[in-house]
Structure 1
Amino acid sequence: AVRLRVREALGAPEPLGEVRVQGWVRSVRSQKEVLFLHINDGSSLENLQVVADPSLENRDLTFGSAVEVQGKLVRSPHQMQNMEVQAETIRVVGACDTWSFPLKLKRRHPLEYLRQFPHLRCRSNALGSLLRVRSEATAAFHSFFQDNGYVHIHTPIITSNDCEGAGELFQIEVSWARQSAEETHFFNVPAFLTVSGQLHLEVMAGAFTRVFTFGPTFRAENSQSRRHLAEFYMVEAELSFTENLQDIMQVMEDLFKSVTSTVLSKCPDDVELFHKYIAPAQK
């Protein structure tokens, strides 16, 4: 049997013979003559419908359980979905107790509630869509710079310098230094989590005409608001031999257009989810 992800099964141009799909059950609906499942593996916002004989149902086949379905990929008679799987076997890989499972069927949980369950929140539509968009955007950033001849530089996360007053720094301390009466530093100088890779990129720009970095940065700003993140990923680039500000503005415009176009083309359903439910006034 051909192993398919849900995204691949939904986008298949034509029916296939024996296929195998693995994922987590989003809904179970048992009728007298047919059993319907909807499963998702995180590759798509849309679920894959599985049609099976009621005899394949068992007590462990519940919302949230992990399953492996084997059968035939056929065209779906429903207009909302291109393909579906006619199951021949359904194996429950991991059972789920629906009573204690914090995510409930057909309920839109607030983000504040989902933050309590970091090991399960990525199964929600909102967080799943966010992570898929981030993944495609990250790949698009790298693709743009690589296609335009930039060298990717891995700037250090632990550094001894600030970056032109970019923000408050997290200072690093080693555990054994706390037991010493004298002020002891691991590198013999104070060390911090980076607030920017700019200074290291500027050094590299003395040997490479085009460089960029994309990595985590940290800001120890004394604020607990949603507008201030202690950790986030930042894209930075340096160009040598620029003639004027227009050169830099053109790169920024091309980068923005390229990444936005990629995200909109590869994650249209995920973007629409945010426009509809998460930030309806931001479209």
Structure 2
Amino acid sequence: MFSVASSAAGHRRILSSIRHYCKRAPKKLRISEAVSGSELGTNIKVQGWVRSVRPQKKNLFLHVNDGSSTKHLQIVASSEQSDPLLTFGSAVEVTGVLKKSTHQKQPFELEAHQIHVIGECNPVDFPFKIKDRHSMEYIRQFPHLRCRTNVFSSLLRIRGEASTTIHTYFKENGYIQIHTPIITSNDCEGAGELFHVEPPSMETDENFFSVPAFLTVSGQLHLEVMSGAFSKVYTFGPTFRAENSQSRRHLAEFYMVEAEVSFMQSLEDLTKVMEDLFKSVTEHVLAQCAEDVDLFHKHVSPGHRDTINVMLTKRFPTITYSEAIDILNHSSEKFIFPTQWGCDLQTEHEKYLVKHCGNIPVFVTDYPYDLKPFYARHNKDDPEHTAAAVDLLVPGVGELCGGSLREERLDVLRARLEEVGLEHTYSWYLDLRRFGSVPHGGFGLGFERYLQCILGVDNIKDVIPFPRFSRSCLL
């Protein structure tokens, strides 16, 4: 007969076995946790990819990384654990004891008990070589593999941290996040560079959505809808431009940070938000991703850290469009594009103005009214016929942000829409001015251009995981 005593004894043996297993089972760590030394003397398990292999007569040395840190964890094993499949690029799982290292550059190392090759990699065919420092242009040819390189894995960690910090900034400053649509019927910018959306199986001449639909070029007009109920709103998502461009600063798909603020009375109020956002996010990213940023400032853009430090310590100056044209016309620079009043500023003009102002970001305000979209507020008392619009120009990139006060006066807006032939298309937009309209303004910041600016990256295709541009849509 089964007794209570025997049952209790069996239960104790099971608990003892569980405790023994838990005590001996390796603790799984990320490489960033392992290299910190917080689990020194502990039996651990790490998983990652081999970044270097160095076999010796008695020992085998590996460097392993899992993408969580710029640092690699050195693995020390007996030569008996050497495996022909253990090559540069292969995926491994390693268990062992974390110990102090005698090498100054790596305070901790993993003394391996077991190395298991999970995924093979032929180093001959692998496009990245173990001792080579590949250029950004070279690794760009392999969008499906470039995340395996040190420089691009650093870029992705920085990008992720910057994205999180932008959301945190807006949340801490009282903004409501709005998910604006990717498919839309409006052309916010009025430039006509739109991707048309339509299913291929439509058998009639009617549109799927009953009206022409496009991939969004901006979430601004949808944010303006929301600014009729919330004083501060923002969105952060993909936008699309069908520009037939192969330039270093344009993409067909990119990410935009856009904000709209109600009860905003002046461009100065708007530029304060733009400058504070730039500086707050940059300071945080430099602090939290110090090693990743240093990799760029050391190997990709030497000396760029000094430029960033100046940006963060100096107040961004403001000049009017008219002053900008005067500066360009009095310069000794030979510009390709004209610089008379009324022309749009080109990249060459923007970069010169930044340099002229001390190589720090500069706000250019009060553009000619005819250069700006219908929603920009008309400076009625300005004899030069200007709009309350502003661009933020930054070193190495040119235009980073564009914004304006929005035209809240119903009669002025209606006249403007009639002038450009959009009064029927945007009748709903006029309703926003009819029902509780207030002075408001907003801006958009190109996220990829922001990363170019703080890291000193020359080509915008090198700061986005999968670049989309004219005649290129790999993966």
TM above 0.5, one fold? yes
Structure 2 CA distance for aligned equivalents of residues 157 and 6 of structure 1:
37
Structure 2 residue runs of 5 or longer lacking an equivalent are 1-25, 306-475
- Counterpart amino acid of residue 188 in structure 1: S
For residue 140 of structure 1, the aligned residue among 165, 170, 179 is: 165
Cα RMSD after superposing both structures: 1.7
Identity across the alignment (%): 61
Q: Aligned equivalents of 1:82 and 1:253: distance in 2?
A: 40
Name the count of aligned residue pairs: 280
1:98-121, Cα deviation, whole Å (9 max, x unpaired):
222222111122333323322211
**Larger Cα-atom Rg:** 2
Please tell me the residue identity of whatever aligns with 2:157: R
- Give the equivalent residue in structure 2 for 1:163: 188
CA distance in 1, matches of 2:251, 2:75: 41
Partner of 1:58: 83
How far apart in 1 are the matches of 2:48 and 2:174?
Answer: 39
Equivalent residue number for residue 145 of structure 2: 120
Equivalent positions of 1:52-201 (< 5 A) are 52-165=77-190, 168-177=193-202, 180=203, 183-201=205-223
Structure 1 partner of 2:240: 218
The CA distance in 2 between the partners of 1:88 and 1:14, in whole Å, is 16
Shift of 1:191: 0.8
Residues 183 and 282 of structure 1: CA distance in aligned 2, closer, same or farther (over 3 Å): farther
Counterpart of 2:289 in structure 1 is 267
The 5 A counterparts of 1:221-260 are: 221-260=243-282
Contact persistence 1:171–1:193 (CA under 8 A): yes
2:254 partner letter: F
Q: How does 1:2-81 map to 2 (within 5 A)?
A: 2-13=27-38, 15-81=40-106
- Residues 166 and 196 in structure 1, CA contact (< 8 A), matched pair in contact too: no
Distance in 2, matches of 1:132 and 1:30, equals: 31
Larger mean CA deviation between 190-199 and 264-273 belongs to: 264-273
Matched residue type, 2:280:
S
| Cα offsets for 1:117-142 (capped at 9, x unmatched) | 22211101121111111000000001
Greater mean deviation of Cα atoms: 139-148 or 158-167: 158-167
Deviates more, 1:142-151 or 1:4-13: 4-13
Q: Residues 16 and 241 (structure 1 numbering): CA distance in 2 closer, same or farther, change over 3 Å? A: farther
Q: Is the 8 A contact 2:189 2:218 kept in 1?
A: no
Q: How high is the TM-score relative to the length of structure 1?
A: 0.93
- For 2:399, the equivalent position in structure 1 comes to none
**In 1: Cα distance, 2:191 partner to 2:303 partner:** 31
Give the structure with the larger strand fraction: 1
- Alpha-carbon distance in 2 for matches of 1:110, 1:187: 45
> RCO greater where, 1 or 2, for CA within 8 Å and sep 6 or more?
1
Cα distance, 1:281 vs structure 2? 5.4
Give distance in 2, aligned partners of 1:77 and 1:153.
Answer: 53
How far is 1:151 from its partner?
0.8
Change in 2 beyond 3 A, CA 1:242/1:146: same
Deviation at 1:169, TM superposition (A): 1.1
Q: Which amino acid aligns with 2:272?
A: Q
CA deviation string 1:190-234 (max 9, x = no partner): 111101000000110111111110000111112112221111111
- The alpha carbon displacement at 1:35 in A equals 1.1
Residues 166, 213 of structure 1: CA spacing in aligned structure 2 closer, same or farther, 3 A cutoff?
farther
Query: In the superposition, relative to structure 1, how do residues 184 and 112 fare at CA in structure 2: closer, same or farther (>3 Å)?
Result: farther
Question: Taking structure 1 as reference, are residues 3 and 78 closer, same or farther at Cα in structure 2, changes over 3 Å only?
Answer: same
The CA distance in 1 between the partners of 2:279 and 2:136, in whole Å, is 30
Structure 1: which amino acid aligns with 2:185?
S
Contact 1:167 1:195 in 2 (8 A): no
Q: Name the residue aligned to 2:435.
A: none
Aligned with residue 278 of structure 1, among 293, 296, 300: 300
What is the alpha-carbon distance in structure 1 between the residues aligned to residue 47 and residue 141 of structure 2?
26
User: More deviation in 241-250 or 259-268?
Assistant: 241-250
TM-score (norm 2): 0.57
Quick one: distance in 1 between partners of 2:216 and 2:153? 28
CA apart distance, 1:166? 5.6
Residue 203 of structure 1: aligned partner: 225
Q: Which amino acid aligns with 2:87?
A: T
Residue 248 of structure 1 and its aligned partner are, at CA, apart by 2.4
